[in-house]
Amino acid sequence: MSVSDGQVFDPVLLNTFLIRKKRCRVYFHRGTLIWESQGSPYTRHMLPLSDVMAVQYVHSTDKSHCCPGLEVQNGSNIDDKPFGEHTSVTAPRHTSFILHYAAKGTKNTWRHDTVTLNHTDPRQVASWVKTIRNYLSGFKNRPKRLLIFVNPYGGKKIGLKIYEKQVKPLFLVAGIEVNAIITQRQFHARDTLLNCSFDNIDGVVCVGGDGTFSEVFNGLVLRTARDNGVDHNDPDVQLPPPLLRVGVIPGGSTDTMAYCFHGTTDIETAVLYVILGDSIGLDLCSIHSNGNLLRYYSSVISYGYLGDVVRDSEKFRWMGPKRYDYSGFKKFISNNGYEGEITLLADTCSPSRGPKCLENCVRCQSQTENKPDKTALSQGEWKTFRGKFFMVNGANVSCACSRSPNGISPYCHLGDGCVDVVIIKHTHMLNNLKLLLRLSSKVKNLFDLPFVEVHRAREFTFRALPASVSDTEFALPRLIPGTSVWNCDGEVQWETNIRIRVHCQLLKVFTRRSQETKEEPSCKICSF
Ligand SMILES: Nc1ncnc2c1ncn2[C@@H]1O[C@H](COP(=O)(O)OP(=O)(O)OP(=O)(O)O)[C@@H](O)[C@H]1O
């Protein structure tokens, strides 16, 4: 349905056009364009306008695409003039128009595709273009002006190239105005969002990795709290959700968040999702220590092995994404486990069983934006665990990525107001190896390993042991012997003793989500 001037139109059009050198009958009804060939072989295409990015006249003096013999079809019961105002149609010169649309590809990807429709009568072409444009303008969720942060430094350092070659041209086609900022330093994106004007912006997009996305939502959430007079340091505060939606275009090393949103790290898919304007609510977690907010995170916070890896790998950034393999190996060999205490408010739902969080996820849809489920909170039970750990994780999303198709917690949900606390106890090196192999498996997950425990929680705290070290000492940006650091969305967080709280669906992210993928063993022999 197209909504214009308070009126709802459900236009019907029918004509014969020349498409890809074939005469085709073309219908437009109930938001779907259908074209079927008139000769053999018979072909039929359906294109919902919700997948169409733009419609344009073809500005060409080349008449070869014109199609003598195609006359206007005035079917008796077909409304060829949906608005009854052909006289006001301007530019009756063009004999063809082009539709730019998103076409489904393989493995959760979408591609930009086009179809050109030719007709001898420019009035018919103008009428179709006007009707389709009217219909598209009814999609109020589509952004018209975007602020874009491009990180030239993340991943393989090709963020700028990605933006110029793959992002900008598509936004141009879709008629989206962009204001692009190339980040010059760490925290550039966050600091800009803390102070810039949000007038005339419909969304913020980042071209970069998880660190860049993290800067964007940290900036937006802090700015929104400040604008609303909310104290972000209060761990129990109800945070106001940012009004701007965020687009995530992969340009980093792991791009876990892009993968969890879209089911792929394909750049074109991510750009098309921003253009088409659908969005979902993402939980964000706040990390507090000693009465202060440290930051917000969206993917995972990991203490122990992954904390050690991120701290070490920063020194080898020149290696690119390979630095994680190098530091991963070093820290795997040297891991002796870390002592700590975890206290969590457990949710009643089991995190070790499905369904997975995919397109139209029922669990996420049942949650109200930014309002924790009060019943679940009152039913929650406080639990404490103390011991020596290889790793402790607070997963806000599954953390699936191309290297780990199931991620740390495959049944974790993006917007259910919970975090999955995955506790991996200290055992021997063979078990640690088994764990890492499981993390790269397409079929198996961690949860049937006897040294792994998982709990779904609404909040949790962690305290590094031995307790003889004071909290103030832990807060220093240096390593205390016998302790690790936190890996927070891929960045080092030095404070070890923290409290995590989940803010249900605090951020809106542009995506249509991933569909279910067929699960096949990556290794046929051991099915790891
Ligand atoms: N011009 C710049 N110079 C140096 N650092 C920058 C610059 N622009 C952004 N940064 C910082 O680069 C860091 C890494 O960026 P990002 O997370 O996007 O890439 P990555 O770490 O390679 O990818 P991933 O997080 O997906 O593994 C971020 O913390 C960001 O603040």
Flag whether pLDDT at 520 surpasses 70.
no
The DSSP code for 489 is: T
Q: Determine the atom of ligand 1 nearest the C-alpha atom of 184.
A: 1
pTM: 0.86
State the distance from the centre of ligand 1 to the C-alpha of 152, rounded, in angstroms. 8
| Rounded CA separation 54/175 (Å) | 8
Q: Which atom of ligand 1 approaches the CA of 321 most closely? A: 22
Residue 382, both tokens:
């406080």
How much is the average pLDDT of 314-334? 84
Same domain (yes/no): 316, 358? yes
Is residue 192 in a domain? yes
* Token duo for residue 60: 């060409």
What tens digit of pLDDT does each residue of 259-269 get? 999 999 999 99
Q: Is 57 exposed, middle or buried (0-12, 13-18, 19+ CB in 10 A)?
A: middle
User: Are 161 and 148 members of one domain?
Assistant: yes
Q: Assess whether pLDDT exceeds 80 at residue 76.
A: no
Task: Look up the CATH number of the domain holding residue 268.
Answer: 3.40.50.10330
H helices present in 177-313, as ranges:
188-195, 210-227, 256-262, 267-276, 305-313
State mean pLDDT over 121-128. Answer: 94
Dihedrals phi, psi of 372, to nearest 5 degrees: -60, 145
Residue 511 lies in a domain: no
Q: Are residues 133 and 150 in the same domain?
A: no
pLDDT at position 72, please? Answer: 36
The radius of gyration of the chain's CA atoms, rounded to the nearest angstrom, is 26
Shared domain check, 234 and 88? no
Dist. CA 502–CA 377, nearest whole Å: 12
Instruction: Point out the ligand 1 atom lying closest to the alpha carbon of residue 208.
Output: 18
Report the residue among 148, 151, 248, 257 best suited for mutation to probe ligand 1: largest number of ligand atoms under 8 A from its CB: 151
| 47 in the same domain as 151 | no
Pick the last residue of a domain from 117, 137, 157: 137
- Residue 358 is part of a domain; what is its CATH number? 2.60.200.40
Distance 498 CA to ligand 1 centre (A): 24
Is residue 20 one of the residues assigned to a domain?
yes
Pairing of strands 486-488, 145-150: unpaired
Give yes or no: residues 353 and 488 share one domain: yes
Question: CB–CB of 240/228 below 8 Å?
Answer: yes
Q: Give the chain's domain count.
A: 3
Kindly tell me if the per-residue pLDDT of 56 is higher than 80: yes
Look at ligand 1, atom 10, and give the residue with the nearest C-alpha.
186
Pick from 79-88, 100-109, 503-512: least confident: 79-88
CA of 446 to the centre of ligand 1 (A): 29
> 287 in a domain, yes or no?
no
Residue at 419 is within a domain: yes
Each residue of 136-192: pLDDT tens digit? Answer: 999 999 999 999 999 999 888 999 999 999 999 999 999 999 999 999 999 999 999
Range(s) of the domain holding residue 322:
295-502
Q: Which of 111, 137, 163 is the last residue of a domain?
A: 137
Q: Indicate which atom in ligand 1 lies nearest the CA of residue 186.
A: 31
Determine which residue's CA is closest to atom 11 belonging to ligand 1: 186
User: First CA to last CA across the chain, in angstroms?
Assistant: 48
pLDDT, one tens digit per residue, over 251-294 is: 998 899 999 999 999 999 999 999 999 999 999 999 999 999 99
Q: Do 358 and 408 have their domain in common?
A: yes
The answer to whether residues 357 and 351 touch, using CB atoms and an 8 Å cutoff, is no
Q: Around Cβ 333, how many Cβ atoms within 10 Å?
A: 9
Instruction: Calculate what percentage of the chain has a pLDDT beyond 90.
Output: 67
pLDDT band at residue 442 using 50, 70 and 90 as cut-offs: confident
Residue 174 domain-assigned?
Answer: yes
* Active site members: 210
User: Is 525 among the domain residues?
Assistant: no
Q: What tokens were used for 199? A: 């007038």
Are residue 344 and residue 260 in the same domain, yes or no?
no
Same-domain status, 111 and 205: no
Q: What integer pLDDT is reported at residue 60 of this predicted model?
A: 62
d(CA 528, CA 506): 36
258-286 burial code (b ≥16 CB/10 A, e <16)? bbbbbbbbbbbbbbbbbbbbbbbbbbbbb
Q: Are residues 184 and 302 in the same domain?
A: no
Find the residues whose C-beta lies inside 6 A of ligand 1: 151-155, 183-188, 208-212, 215, 252-255, 490-491
Do residues 241 and 327 both lie within one domain? Answer: no
ipTM value of the model? 0.97
Q: What tokens appear for 311 in the block?
A: 């701290």
206 inside domain: yes
User: Domain check: are 313 and 327 in the same one?
Assistant: yes
445 Cα: distance to centroid of ligand 1 (angstroms): 29
Calpha distance 113→99 (Å, rounded): 8
Give the pairing type, strands 7-9 and 12-19: unpaired
CATH number of domain containing 56:
2.30.29.30
Q: Is the pLDDT of residue 345 over 50?
A: yes
